[in-house]
Amino acid sequence: MGVTDDDRVFKALADPTRRLLLDRLFVRDGRTLTELESELEMTRFGVMKHLKLLEAANLVVTRRSGREKLHYLNPVPIRQIHDRWIDKYTEHRVSALLDLKDELENA
C-alpha cells in the first residue's frame, strides 16, 4: 500500500465527475447507482465505471441492504493524506514563523 494507495486516491480525485459523485454522497450518503445516475448527465455504464475507480481508491465503500447496493463516501484515505501531509507542512510553517519571531525579537 503506502505510495500506491495515495496514487490511487489522487488519481481518483483528479476527475471532475468523480469529485461530483463524492460531493453528492457527502450531501446524502448511502445511495444506489440509480439515484446517483439520475443526477448526472452520463450513462449508467459511465457512472458505474467512475464508482468502481472510487471504490478501488477506497473513497467509496458499498454495502448491501436487501436487494440494493448502497454507496458510502469513505473519508479515511483523504484524512490519511491530511494527517500525513497537510498537518506536517502547516506545523513546519507555524514553527518557522515562531522561529522568525524569536529571531526578530531577540535581535
Residues binding other proteins (CB under 8 A): 1-2, 5, 28-32, 34-35, 38-39, 58, 61, 63, 70, 72, 74-76, 78-80, 82-84, 87
Residue closer to other proteins, measured from CB, 44 or 84: 84
**Alpha-carbon torsion angle 94, 99, 101, 107, nearest 10:** -170
Nearest in space to 13 (alpha carbons), one of 90, 87, 75 = 75
State in angstroms the smallest separation of the CB of 104 from other proteins: 27
State in angstroms the smallest separation of the CB of 10 from other proteins: 16
Joined grid coordinates for residue 30:
448511502
Residue closer to other proteins, measured from CB, 16 or 64: 64
Residue closer to other proteins, measured from CB, 86 or 97: 86
Instruction: Check residue 55 and give left, alpha or beta (phi > 0: left; psi -120 to 50: alpha).
Output: alpha
Nearest in space to 70 (alpha carbons), one of 80, 79, 60, 78 = 60
State in angstroms the smallest separation of the CB of 54 from other proteins: 12
State in angstroms the smallest separation of the CB of 75 from other proteins: 4
